[in-house]
Amino acid sequence: MKDKLTDLNDHLFAQLERLNDEDLKGDALIEEIHRAKAVTGVASQIIANGTLVLKAAKTAQEYVDRGENLPKMLTGESDGT
């Protein structure tokens, strides 16, 4: 898997295909269900992180547009404490 959301999308659809395999039964099906839950949990965190990065970028641009200094939290600078 690469580091792009399109790759994540491909991976999620591949997982869906594995879950739709009608030959998958018993313990193999249970294992695939557990794997799918793990994959979707990680995928949710990746998406949430991407959303946070986008919101931070938009906020930073708003500060720049107003000619204000960015909050230190967005610049990574220490506040000296």
Global pTM value: 0.73
Say if residue 19's pLDDT is above 80.
Answer: yes
Instruction: Supply the DSSP symbol for 66.
Output: T
pLDDT tens for residues 48-65?
999 999 998 898 888 888
Higher pLDDT, 1 or 16: 16
Q: 42: Cβ–Cβ under 8 A, 6 or more apart, which residues?
A: none
Please state, rounded to an integer, the average pLDDT across all residues of the chain: 90
Q: Where are the domains of the chain?
A: 5-68
Question: CB of 46 within 8 A of CB of 32?
Answer: no
